[in-house]
Chains A and B, each alone.
Chain A
Amino acid sequence: MTTVKLNEIVKRFGTVTAADHVTLTIESGQFFTLLGPSGCGKTTILRITAGLEIPDSGQVIFDSRDVTWTPPNERGTGMVFQNYALWPHMKVFENVAYGLRVRKTMSEDIKKRVKSVLELVQLEGLEDRFPTQLSGGQQQRVALARALVIEPSVLLLDEPLSNLDARLRIEMREELTKIQKKLGITAIYVTHDQEEALVLSDRLAIVNKGAVYQTGTPHEIYSAPNSLFVATFIGRCTLFPGTVQSVAGRYLTVAADNGMTITGVRSESSREMSTGQRAICVIRPENFEVEAPSEAHNTLDGNVKFSGYYGNRVEVGGDFSGVQFVANLDSSSTPKVGEFFRFYVEAQEVTVIPEEQAEERPGAQKS
């Protein structure tokens, strides 16, 4: 299995920078996701890895081999395209066997390997169908089988689930992780769906405007975003802009612009802050509590403007003296619109990010 390193990759299309000094390391056997809004450059990074785009500068390294100038057909990656790119003039068997034929595999061996990979993706018996005779989910599996059968050094997946309906998408993503773990293959996955990214990935990178904003495990990214973009792109949150009042180790106390004082912790990957600097406190909806915890906590009084019942929770929204908030409450609670509500949030659960990072991208990333 292969470790993939991207080193200072730059790629411009006209005036658009699709990859802006991208540096990433994807460990062997890892399921790594590039997550970002559409048009952010994540597909370009994937295509550069496959060799289908040529970077303006930077290196692509597979293990210790520099493949930056290796043509795509000599890289041994297996790519699953967003539109599957199944060849309509070939039956399923021929589609899957193609990569093996290119490799001049013996025909007996081809039969065996195609059969076994089709079993893996649960498509046995469909060898003689044409792609147009298959459902979307089946086509997706053929595309996956076609990429897997050559035992690629890296599996590259470009939004492979985006053309499936919601239920199939969830089924397929579970299967995808199972297959990837079973084969122990290095996989790079591109998506704009944050839930998909959180569920699937061992690690992920948040990409925006061609640049990597943050890399980490799903939990790190969700609970400790390093920038406003990452915080707001992954999940919903309540934001308190303000000024740092005091610093005590990792703990920061911020005088929010709305008059409240909030204590939180700095995200490990964001830069140090000192007293007097602008900062933003980020609170996830599920971190609001209605009973005071024993730890150090913030007390926030808010006016409830709406509430919605979701079955497993109740979502309430309103404002804390001018700051809009969203909080999840227990499904048994019955907040009333117009009511004043007191919330508690543990200082541990508040992420403080420097405000100047809100617009510009964070500094060089370690991954």
Chain B
Amino acid sequence: MAGTRLEKLKLEFDRITILQLVLVIFMLVIFLVLPIWTIIAGAFVFKGQPSLEWFSRIFTNTRYFNLTPGEELIIHVDNTIFIQGLNFGIVLNSLIVGAVVTVLTTLIGTALAFIMARYEFRGKMFFRTVVLIPMLVTPFINAFVVKQWLTSNYSLLNTIFHDTLHLLPFRINLDGLAAIVLVQVLSYTPIVFLNAGAAIINVDPSLEEQGENLGAKGFRLLRTVTLPLALPGIAAGAVLVFIFSLEDLGGPIVFSSNFLARQIISYQVYSQFYAAVTGGILPETIALAVILLGIALLGFVLIKRYISVRTFAMLSKGGRWSPRIRPLGLRKSILVYPFLAIWIILSSFPQIGVFVYSFANILGGVIPQSWTFQNYVEMISEPAVTRVITNSFIYSFAAVALIMVVGFSAAYLVARKKFFGRDAIDILSTMPIAIPGIVVAVGYFAFFSLGPFRGTPFDPLVSPALLIIMAYAVRRMPFTVRSIFAGLQQVHVNLEEASTNLGASKARTFIRILIPLIVANFVGGAMLSFVYCMSETSVSITLGGLGEGTQPITWYMQDVMLRAAGSVPLAATLGVFLMIMQITALTLSNILLKQRLAFLGI
């Protein structure tokens, strides 16, 4: 029967399937599993022996864990209110910032989603669109705008409202962890908003009507029916925010002149990165990276399990699915309009500020002296800037090409084939969304520069270009995999079988039948991957900085923040450039995929 089994295997695993498998496994193992494994293994070794030494050093050091911060949260000195947060130690600080950001974004995001899903009011389309503005990623420069407004006694806020207009009785100075929390809440609320919105819209209205029919109304109905049913979606958004907060580098770097802002895991790992280039990476730093990874992955795994258990089948069996949209009454309008107005002003001012700064001419200080198009001219003519733009384009295009091939293969294998290890491919190809970028960067450095690839084109010290491409591809693959997987679920396998039955080879079936049917998912997913490659931060500013002339856009923007080697308005112009690309891509992908970005969930 051995012959039979071989024949059977040959039929089940034709050449294309094997090629796909090899590609996917090669990519995931070499560029995800092994680098990550290298640092995990490294963190558990002390003097050549397996040990928890580095972790116990971290857990017993008050630098990392400090339960007695011994300061005041709000310091009131000389008519100035100074808020920077409390120092509970690096690890706890990260967790506290993450938790506070998660709670605040969840409250605001869910409230926004509920208003949009359940009420009809004038200007709703406008508000619904504007609420998404913070989704536009402008690394560093959005935090920089917040800093100009709120940090220091001479901030724009104090200058305008205290010194000039005398509306504020005291000065406000927000810095450190508190400022990071603010920046993150402003940026990440749309993630909860989108996930919660999709979840609320998916609640079968007849379930709420049944609740009303039994006498539940208003808040009780919300608490007992709507929220519990929408909870999996809200929770997915919340966990994603928590992970993004943990791995955020933009906020901590921009506010890094403040001591507390540096007391964050992601910043600590980042700041040790360059030390690694000359020496080796401190095992303590690696252990810290492993803790960061562990927390993020734990969140990812828990929420995946929770969602699979708690995702209720809510297929309406017949009947009309009439969405429960009510007009907003006068009394509620008085609450809703001011809330929306304050929120959109607050949440979009970083992006608006980026736009404003892109036209600024700053000779000294932080306040623009005049307005100019010079920054845009420089963006397309200044060799240092065109260089980083070209680099980013090359990296992103190459990464997306790879993503399309490998991502399609992974999605296809998971959706259509049964084999040992399928679940592993499923998890590994979507997990990078939860892996902090700085961990990927450290892992790549440890594996490719210190490991067996030393001196090869994969060694970032030889040239980081190849590794940047691979890091972009791995980190941004989940968008495409999820999008294509969703497409494949819409295409009945019979459509492929009908083609095979009529004599078409597998390649022909892919090209003529399958890919045309999921082309929207292909392009939509690839565009998302592309714009988030262009704005990728963690790997770009670490590995990206290792070579001369190979740096991408975001590295340049960070360089401006840290070293003042370039001009802030020019960085803002690059931010506008990234925003325009994102708006274009997100709009197109929304049209193609006919859905509102909900796959930014887990």
Contact = CB atoms under 8 A, between A and B. Distances in A.
Contact of B499 (A71, A74, A98): A98
A73 B497 contact: no
A78 interface: yes
Given A54-B8, A57-B1, A87 B513 contact: yes
A74 B11 CA distance: 12
B380 interface: no
A343 B253 CA distance: 97
B494 A74 contact: no
Interface stretch (B102-110, B356-364, B503-511): B503-511
B14 A71 contact: yes
Contacts of B508: 102
A146 B517 contact: no
Contacts of B10: 69
B8 to A, nearest CB: 5
B501 A73 contact: yes
B4 interface: yes
B1 A78 contact: no
A99 B502 contact: yes
B423 interface: no
A88 interface: yes
A78 B502 CA distance: 6
Contacts of B495: 85, 87
B500 interface: yes
Interface residues of A, number: 31
Interface string A48-81: 0011101011000000000011011110111101
A72 B516 contact: no
A89 interface: yes
Contacts of B504: 73, 98, 102
A147 B499 CA distance: 10
Given A69-B10, A72-B497, A79-B501, A85 B517 contact: no
Given A54-B8, A69-B11, A89-B516, A99 B494 contact: no
A99 B516 contact: no
A68 B517 CA distance: 31
A103 interface: yes
A85 B517 CA distance: 13
Given A89-B516, A89-B517, A146 B502 contact: yes
A72 B7 contact: no
A102 B503 contact: yes
Given A69-B10, A71-B14, A85 B503 contact: no
A83 B4 contact: no
A54 B12 contact: yes
Given A102-B504, A102-B508, A85 B498 contact: yes
B492 interface: yes
Nearest to B502: A99
Contact of A54 (B11, B502, B503, B505): B11
Contact of B501 (A68, A72, A83, A88): A72
Interface in B1-17: 1, 4, 7-8, 10-12, 14
A57 B7 CA distance: 11
A261 B568 CA distance: 105
A52 B506 CA distance: 13
A85 B494 contact: yes
Contact of B502 (A51, A56, A102): A102
Contacts of B14: 71
- Closest 5 A/B residue pairs (Cβ): A99-B502, A85-B494, A85-B498, A69-B7, A102-B503
Interface of B: 1, 4, 7-8, 10-12, 14, 492, 494-495, 497-505, 508, 512-513, 516-517
